[in-house]
Amino acid sequence: MRGLTILTATILTFGYGFAAQAAMTASRAQTLRRVAGIEDTRAPTPVEATTRVWYGGMLAPVTVEAAPLAALPAKCPLT
């Protein structure tokens, strides 16, 4: 009885492995094509571009400049 359990488990394990390999092989060609940049995509219109989220890449640095405020009096003067 123990041998039948081991045999069944082994067959199922190989079956699941084969199914996983077949699934990965089917999507691998499409994934490689997408990652390699072979698929051409059109540039978005200005209206479409405002609704998209930026998910990476290098953006230009942002510099924030502010004029200094007048010196504020000390809230707790030293005596």
Q: Report pLDDT digits (tens) over 42-78.
A: 777 888 877 777 677 677 788 888 877 777 777 776 6
Alpha-carbon span 38 to 2, nearest angstrom: 53
**Sign of the dihedral through C-alpha 22, 26, 27, 33:** positive
Is-above-0.95 flag for pTM? no
Let me know: does 1 contact 9? Beta carbons within 8 Å. Answer: no
Task: Please give the backbone phi and psi of residue 69, each rounded to the nearest 5 degrees, phi first.
Answer: -80, 165
Average pLDDT of span 4-28: 87
Q: Would you state the pLDDT for residue 38? A: 66
Q: Report pLDDT digits (tens) over 19-50.
A: 888 877 767 777 777 777 666 667 778 888 77
